[in-house]
Structure 1
Amino acid sequence: MDRGTSRWIRRTSLLSAALAAVALTAACGDNTSTGSSQPKGSGSPLTSAPSTAPSTGAALNISDDLAKQICDMLRPQLSDWRVQGPTLGKIAFNATVLQWATQNGFLLQLPGDRGVVDRVTTKSCSDVRDQTLSALEIPNMAAGLVAG
């Protein structure tokens, strides 16, 4: 299998997982949790000012390590999103954010605080945030996420 085919197979698998996660999140309805909302990871929590992005729940506290992780996940995809355009880019963006939230245990809280990606990337990698907004043609990161 050539490298290009392998890349599309990985993206198709990731997209399928993302769509399943979105469906699961939507089916859950009430996003309240009796457990801790603190995601896995070490480092100090991110305590930036609230985002202007829509938020319907309590703000998630994201460690510096997890902030670096989402930046590192978004950065290599920027050139693909510029080529693919905003429609396909938004699908991949959603898949990446859902993967990040799933890996770190706060997938069910994400729909209640979609602005978390804006807060995290503004503080940790504003260059990646700006390039993402430009490539996906969105006013803020929350606007690029599927509403839960």
Structure 2
Amino acid sequence: MSLRRFTVVTAGALAALALTAGCAADTTPTAPTGGGTALPGTTAPPAPPVPAPGVGADTGGVTADQAARLCADMQAQLQSWRTYTPTIGKGGLNTVVGTWAAQSGVNMLDLIAHKSRVDAITEQYCPEVRQGAIKALEIPDLAAGLIGF
């Protein structure tokens, strides 16, 4: 299998995973401020500070707790995105955002229509995580890396 075909197949599989992750029913309770549970032998990333709401930032009504969870989930993936190719990392970004939206009760159709809200949320609540993701994925903004969102 050629490298190009492998990359395309992998990206397609990750995009499909991101879409199905958003459809799964999650009935387990979630922690109020992100982080989740860490794997044995690791520590969960600290929750980012919650700034005062920014003027003009279109976060689509996302709460500070929801934003903190997105930031923590993205921060937990930054090293993977730096390690793998940007194409594979973009699939990971889609998985993180899709899973976060599904678990946070964010309207997926509205998020798909307004992908820039992910940028607004992360720029307001965790600009250093956003910048790290943009650099690792080699994209101008997070909206550019979202497929189907």
Give the TM-score normalised by the residue count of structure 2.
Answer: 0.64
* Structure 2 residue 85 is the aligned partner of structure 1 residue 85: yes
Confirm or deny: 8 A CA contact 2:57 2:120 kept in the other structure: yes
SS at the partner of 1:101? helix
1:70, 1:48 → 2: CA distance?
A: 20
Deviation at 1:47, TM superposition (A): 5.1
- Asked if 1:121 corresponds to 2:128, the answer is no
Report what 2:101 is aligned to: 101
Structure 1 residues 73 and 14: CA distance shift in structure 2, 3 A = farther
Going from structure 1 to structure 2, the CA distance change for 1:14 and 1:72 (only over 3 Å counts) comes to farther
Structure 1, unmatched stretches of 5+, are: 1-12, 25-40, 52-58
Give the 4+ runs in structure 1 shifted more than 3 A: 13-17, 45-48
User: Structure 2: any 5+ residue segments left out of the alignment?
Assistant: 1-12, 24-31, 34-49
User: 1-side partners of 2:17 and 2:144: how far apart?
Assistant: 21
Percent identity over the alignment is 34
Give the superposition deviation at 1:69.
0.5
Amino acid at match of 1:79: Q
Alpha-carbon RMSD: 3.0
The count of corresponding residues between Structure 1 and Structure 2 is 112
After superposition, where does 1:1-148 map in structure 2 within 5 Å? 17-20=17-20, 46=53, 48-50=55-57, 60-105=60-105, 106-148=107-149
- 1:67, CA displacement in angstroms? 0.7
Task: Flag the 1:145–1:83 CA change in 2: closer, same or farther, 3 A.
Answer: same
In 2, Cα distance between the equivalents of 1:90 and 1:77?
11
Deviation at 1:120, TM superposition (A): 0.8
Distance 1:102 1:120 in 2: 16
The 1:15/1:112 distance shift into structure 2, 3 A limit, reads closer
